[in-house]
Structure 1
């Protein structure tokens, strides 16, 4: 069994409860010491004229002492029993008071924690702006606000750098591609080695161009504001992506199994980004697949979540058994299995990271799993939206 989580509130509850309980124990101990102080009855010497009645007086005194001792013993038992009951009540009261006091002490910290959790990379402009006296809690909130301000500046600088670098690098790439075309278009015969070298350079330039396009798309998905939201069907986006990769599927002899490509999986978002996301999933399934392999596809609605449902896109491929930890890292930029997966080093490692970024930007998630029998399972979940027909109705 898992041990219960030790929280600060639990520790404060124990501390304050112990202090209250010790105070109660001390109070009861002092009360018992004072109240149960032994009352001694001393027998005084007989006065003049009492000698003849001394035996009778002694007998009477003994009887009174016995009665007094019995009453004292009964009183002691009652005081002890009452003390035990009071101690038990104090234990419960101490725990309750300790929890209440701990909650009051930690309330500002819980407020700061909840506000910090709401702030992500998309709303770094928000601040805690904690009110109250200038104490340790406000110093902590102000420190977090300063950290958020520095993070916002860092994210903005990174976004500008990626966008500017990608745009600036396209100009020399276009110049190099045009120079190759001009060199090959000369009327003089071009040596075969030059033609082969030009072909290799053009291939590499195309790869760099795709990499820059991936940078721009990744930066837009991670930090850009989503505009032009429309309602789209994942099933239709999947069909379009399959048509676009028909040549690659045929070249590798892949068998495509469309289990349930339905129009029930509707979601709302940026059409360009969602189309790129689905295209990247299909491109990953085709590129990183074995010759003669298979792809299983499905798109549908999942209404079991209880939060309005989700639109699910599932793409499954066969192949060799993959390492689970390495597969979990494929959603990060420049993470790929390369030759260990398909025997080729194709790809830049941005495809699935773009999928993860686009899904997160739309409030969804990317789940990558290594199939026990071999291959990869890709599950993309997005918030479910009503279809245009339902909206019109």
Structure 2
């Protein structure tokens, strides 16, 4: 910052010194323009005509102006006055230059000092931001600059930096929760597998116990595979799109919904689909996962005899379902990994809690946005909008 302060000092001080030089030159020019005429005007009447010699009276030159027309002088008086005015004018201008040079030197020193002080005040917020950025670590991301200053570019810079710290803190907290939850989710099936193996194989088990252990290990392996696939899909969608092509969102939604018809029938849930042709530029595989996760989530978090309404239009995709009441305050949290509306019960088909987080990640990868609202009678309405979606 010292180099920037030196540059600003040189800039401000140079401008002030240039202004002083121009002012001194202007004053010198204006004074010298009328100085000689003013001295002649003042001195000529005071020269006695009786004391003039022939040489001084030989070449009289009258000044022009109202004074020459209204004042009666001898020719010799004018000649002597001109010689006196030349000597006096030169002395006055020399004195003016000397005083001006001394004043300019003092003014220049004062200008540099003021410029250094001014540059320090201007750059002080930048120094605060720099010092705070150097101190930042994972343990003090809660600190903010909170610059107290009038509205301006530096105040806006400090506020922007604080906003960036807010987003970084939220991101780090979300990543920490994700790591903790992922470790817990991965540890649970391993613990189940270990316990099943130790209990079932401790002695010579009967065939039915071996069959139970086998089924338990297979179910646990399926849950682990589902969890790993969800984590991989989340990581792929977070990286962004590797390819883009035109996808008919309406057709993709109809296809995915038909594939889930058996599960809907098994759960006694009615699915209503209203899909209009809408084109989206994106990855067809990721978009299929987005639709599948939304519809499957609406089926699994429902009750027998409930319904799911799926609509596709120019505004994007909307999936609404009946089911248990959802606290509106917890709805935004459902799009975080491993977040659930209810505590996990480790029931078959419960899922890993990654469905809506994958939906949000895929929507972001396509430049879209996802939102949800709790329905008054229970259930959830999720909406995914795509800025490039059109008929």
Q: TM (normalized to structure 2)?
A: 0.48
Largest Rg, 1 or 2: 2
Q: TM (normalized to structure 1)?
A: 0.48
